[in-house]
Amino acid sequence: MNGPGNGTTTHGMETIKTQVGIVGAGPSGLLLAQMLHLAGIDSVILESRPRSYIENRQRAGVLEHGVVRTLADCGVGARLAREGMVHEGIDIRFGETRHRLDVKALSGGQCVTVYPQHEIVKDLVAARLQTDRPLWFEARVTSLLDLETSRPRIRFEQDGETRELACDFVAGCDGFHGISRPAIPGGRIDSYGRDYPFAWLGILAEAAPASHEVIYAHHKRGFALQSMRSPTVSRLYLQCPVDDDVEQWSDDRIWSELHARFATHDGFRLNEGRIVQKSLTPMRSFVAAPMRHGRLMLAGDAAHIVPPTGAKGLNSAVGDVRVMAAALEAYYRHGDGDLLERYSEIALRRVWKTQRFAASLCTLLHRFHDEPRFHMRMQLAELEQIVEDPRAAELFARNYTGLPFDV
């Protein structure tokens, strides 16, 4: 299989050649590049941000069972295996009572692992640099050209110069606000979505997690979640109005509200510590379909957004990348374009299932202000069914720990 060709100059603009041009060095773009490298397929990654930004951007990191195995199979799972925190259960609270679901037993042996997303990015960047293949930071893509031909081009700016990348395929892995999805002409793509009437106030605190497993708390004042970044750092979230201002939330107010929402009849109490980060995240569900246009294929947040309640964003992106990498390998190794033609169809099957689970958790656990009393009673009835009915608990656990990958 071919590597990148030597650069040529046309009309004063340098043109570089490769097989797959990857826009974005987030987890999906970096993992795709690693999988392609292992298959002998060359790629160039273009990232608009500096390396320090992508390696330190804080994001959730609850990894499905299959994602952990995928990273290990790709040779980037050693540090994850050493430092990741394996969770065999979760704590669901309602009515000031704890209910533990043994998701490992319920799902047939699957667990989730807590490992921050920026650490995955560091591992993938290190792996990419070891291949000595192009990963160009501060390379701002300005346009995607000739997407419906056999030789699309990516025009980008770097170090004050405009350059072009000529490739066989373009992988749009540049997130919700990136250039890839808007490059698809109007009328060729449909958008499905919902903006929820609340947001999450998230904090990072220098405090040991009060529980070694994730806690989902349903409360009349609103939803709350305890997760962790390490054995000494807690990640906590509070449902709040979508138009709230982080500055309105003092440290004392945050801890008071967290204690109220996590309270149980047996006297549970969070560990407090210095709050080192505060952020506000609106809740959104979004899917773009199809996920392919000509020689452009979208993956991850460029194609879909899930509310973080189910921790499915990164996991869903890995599902896309697995299908895309397998399709490209079949094309280059065997001349078989069937998987490429079916990329969007296959990827979207899993995307919609993860969307359903994440959206259902949003509806199940958050306070809605329209008909709040009726909605809360419905929520409590469903929560009771999940913790009391083994069939409902098993379905929840299998979705939470990760549905099978189609490819």
Tell me the catalytic residues.
87, 216, 308, 312, 400
Angle at 71 between CA 121 and CA 19, to 5 degrees: 75
Burial 304-342 (b: 16+ CB within 10 A, else e): bbbbbbbbbbbbbbbbbbbbbbbbbbbbbeeeeeebbee
Task: Count CA atoms within 13 Å of residue 54 on its CB side.
Answer: 26
CA distance 383 to 98: 12
The helix, strand and coil proportions of the chain, stated in percent and rounded to the nearest 5, come to 35, 30, 35
Closest CA to 350 of 67, 121, 84: 67
Closest CA to 64 of 315, 313, 301: 315
For helices 27-38 and 313-334, the axis angle rounded to 10 degrees is 30
Q: Using only C-alpha atoms, what is the Rg of the chain?
A: 22
